[in-house]
C-alpha cells in the first residue's frame, strides 16, 4: 500500500517541484534584467519538461530502460492523440502556417531521428539495441538547431514580444531561495518515488515496466501540458494549445532522451520499433489532417479519431503486456 501512496506522492512532487523551480528561476531572471521573451523560451519551456527528464534520469541510472522509453513514447502519443484530440473536440484548432510547415515536420524529424539512432543493430549490423552517448550527442545537436530556430522565430514575430503573454511573479530573494530548494528536493524525491513505484506496480500485476510508464507515468508527467492546452482552448488561445504540444514532443525526444543517454547509455527494449513507428504514423497523420477538410484546421471528427486511436493503442500495449 505504501508503494502506491509514494508513487502518487512522487507524481505530485514532480509537478509541484517543477512549478516551484520555474517560478523561482523566472523571478530571479526577471530581477537580473533578462527579457520576458527569453525567460519564456528557456526557463519556462525547459521547466515544463523537467518531470519527464527527472523520471528518465532516475530510470536510466537504475537500469530500468523500459521506463525511460515508455515515458517518452507514452508522453508524445498522449500529447497528440489524447490532449490535442480532446482540445479539438472542445474547439476546432486552426494552426498557423509556420506550425504546419515547420514545427510539425520538426517533430516528425525528431521521431525519425530516434528510430534511426535506436536501430544501429539493424542498419549497420553492429552493436546492440541501445542509445549510446554518441547518439545522445546527435539528439542534443538537433535540439540546439530547434532551440535556435525557436528563438529566432520569436524575435521576428512581434506577437511573441508582448510581455503580457507571460506573467512572472515578483518574489523576494529569500522566497526565491526557499522555492528553489523545495523545487529541487521535490524533483529528487518525486523522480525516485515514481520510478520505484512504477517498478513495484509492474511486478505486482505482472505487467511490463514499459506498459506502466507509457500509461500511468506518461499521463502523470504530461499533466502540465494537458492543463495548459485545455485551458488555452477554453480561452480560444489555439496557438498556445498547439505550440505547447508540438514543442513538448520535440523537447522530449531531442532534449530529454539526449541528456539521458549522454549521462548513461540506454538499453533499448526489443519491441520499441512498433511504438516508435506508431508515433511516426500519428505525427504524419496530424500533418495530413492539415490538408483534409478545412485547410490548416484540426476538426472535431479528427480530434475524436485521435482519442479513439489512443484508446486502441492502450488496448494494444495492455494485451502485449
The string of pLDDT tens digits covering residues 25-70 is 888 877 777 666 566 556 766 777 788 888 888 888 888 878 888 8
Distance CA(169)–CA(175), nearest Å, equals: 11
Read off the pLDDT of each residue in 174-180 and give the average, rounded to a whole number.
Answer: 87
Distance CA(111)–CA(285), nearest Å, equals: 13
More confident residue, 28 or 286: 286
Closest C-alpha among 6, 2, 5, 45 to residue 25: 45
Closest C-alpha among 258, 290, 248 to residue 80: 248
Give the pairing of strands 93-94 and 297-298.
Answer: antiparallel
Lowest-confidence region among 59-63, 214-218, 309-313: 59-63
Res 94 pLDDT > 50: yes
Range of the domain at 148: 2-320
- End-to-end, the C-alpha distance of the chain in Å comes to 23
- Percent of the chain whose pLDDT exceeds 90: 26
User: In the beta sheet, which residues pair with residue 130?
Assistant: 267
3-state helix, strand, coil in the chain (%, to 5): 80, 0, 15
Predicted confidence at residue 48, as pLDDT, reads 72
Closest C-alpha among 21, 34, 42, 37 to residue 165: 37
Predicted confidence at residue 121, as pLDDT, reads 66
Res 312 pLDDT > 50: yes
Predicted confidence at residue 51, as pLDDT, reads 86
- Please name the helix (run of DSSP H) or strand (run of DSSP E) that holds residue 297, with its range, or none: strand 297-298
Lowest-confidence region among 32-46, 133-147, 166-180, 299-313: 32-46
Predicted confidence at residue 164, as pLDDT, reads 44
Size of the chain, expressed as the number of residues it contains: 321
User: E-strand spans in 81-169?
Assistant: 93-94, 130-131
* Listed ranges 18-27, 109-118, 124-133, 241-250; the one with the highest mean pLDDT: 109-118
Please, which residues have CB within 8 angstroms of residue 273's CB and are 6 or more apart in sequence? Answer: 115, 118, 119
Predicted confidence at residue 320, as pLDDT, reads 85
The mean pLDDT value of the chain amounts to: 84
* Listed ranges 72-76, 196-200, 220-224; the one with the highest mean pLDDT: 72-76
User: E-strand spans in 173-282?
Assistant: 266-267
* Listed ranges 168-182, 200-214, 306-320; the one with the highest mean pLDDT: 306-320
The string of pLDDT tens digits covering residues 143-165 is 999 888 887 876 776 554 444 45
Distance CA(278)–CA(282), nearest Å, equals: 6
| DSSP annotation string for 44-94 | IHHHHTHHHHHHHHHHHHHT-HHHHHHHHHHHHHIIIIIIIHHHHHHSPEE
Predicted confidence at residue 285, as pLDDT, reads 95
Overall number of domains in the chain: 1
Predicted confidence at residue 36, as pLDDT, reads 60
Distance CA(138)–CA(147), nearest Å, equals: 14
| Residue 274, domain CATH | 1.20.1420.30
Res 166 pLDDT > 60: no
Predicted confidence at residue 37, as pLDDT, reads 56
Closest C-alpha among 178, 50, 42, 183 to residue 34: 42
Distance CA(127)–CA(139), nearest Å, equals: 19
Distance CA(306)–CA(83), nearest Å, equals: 9
Tell me if 207 sits within 8 A of 215, measured CB to CB.
no
C-alpha cell recorded at residue 103: 514545427
Q: Cα angle at 39 between 191 and 243, to 5 degrees? A: 75
More confident residue, 275 or 230: 275
Amino acid at each position: 500500500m505504501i508503494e502506491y501512496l509514494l508513487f502518487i506522492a512522487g507524481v505530485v512532487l514532480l509537478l509541484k517541484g517543477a512549478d516551484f523551480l520555474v517560478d523561482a528561476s523566472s523571478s530571479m531572471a526577471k530581477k537580473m534584467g533578462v527579457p520576458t521573451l527569453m525567460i519564456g523560451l528557456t526557463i519556462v519551456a525547459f521547466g515544463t519538461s523537467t518531470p519527464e527528464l527527472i523520471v528518465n534520469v532516475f530510470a536510466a541510472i537504475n537500469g530500468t530502460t523500459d521506463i525511460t522509453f515508455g515515458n517518452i513514447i507514452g508522453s508524445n502519443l498522449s500529447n497528440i492523440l489524447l490532449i490535442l484530440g480532446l482540445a479539438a473536440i472542445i474547439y476546432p484548432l486552426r494552426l498557423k502556417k509556420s506550425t504546419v510547415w515547420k514545427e510539425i515536420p520538426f517533430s516528425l524529424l525528431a521521431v525519425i531521428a530516434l528510430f534511426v539512432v535506436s536501430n544501429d543493430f539493424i542498419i549497420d549490423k553492429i552493436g546492440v539495441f541501445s542509445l549510446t552517448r554518441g547518439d545522445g550527442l546527435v539528439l542534443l545537436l538537433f535540439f540546439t538547431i530547434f532551440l535556435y530556430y525557436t528563438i529566432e522565430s520569436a524575435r521576428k514575430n512581434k506577437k511573441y514580444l508582448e510581455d503580457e503573454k507571460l506573467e512572472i511573479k515578483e518574489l523576494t530573494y529569500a522566497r526565491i531561495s526557499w522555492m528553489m530548494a523545495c523545487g529541487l528536493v521535490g524533483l529528487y524525491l518525486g523522480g525516485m518515488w515514481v520510478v520505484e513505484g512504477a517498478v513495484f506496480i509492474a511486478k505486482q500485476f505482472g505487467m511490463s515496466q514499459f506498459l506502466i510508464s507509457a500509461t500511468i507515468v506518461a499521463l502523470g508527467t504530461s499533466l502540465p501540458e494537458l492543463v495548459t492546452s485545455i485551458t488555452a482552448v477554453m480561452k480560444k488561445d489555439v496557438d498556445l494549445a498547439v505550440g505547447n504540444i508540438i514543442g513538448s514532443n520535440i523537447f522530449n525526444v531531442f532534449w530529454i532522451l539526449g541528456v539521458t543517454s549522454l549521462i548513461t547509455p540506454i538499453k533499448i527494449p526489443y519491441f520499441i520499433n512498433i511504438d516508435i513507428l506508431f508515433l511516426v504514423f500519428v505525427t504524419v497523420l496530424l500533418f495530413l489532417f492539415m490538408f483534409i477538410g478545412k485547410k490548416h484546421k484540426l476538426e472535431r471528427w479528427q480530434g475524436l479519431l485521435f482519442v479513439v486511436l489512443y484508446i486502441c493503442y492502450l488496448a494494444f500495449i495492455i494485451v502485449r503486456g
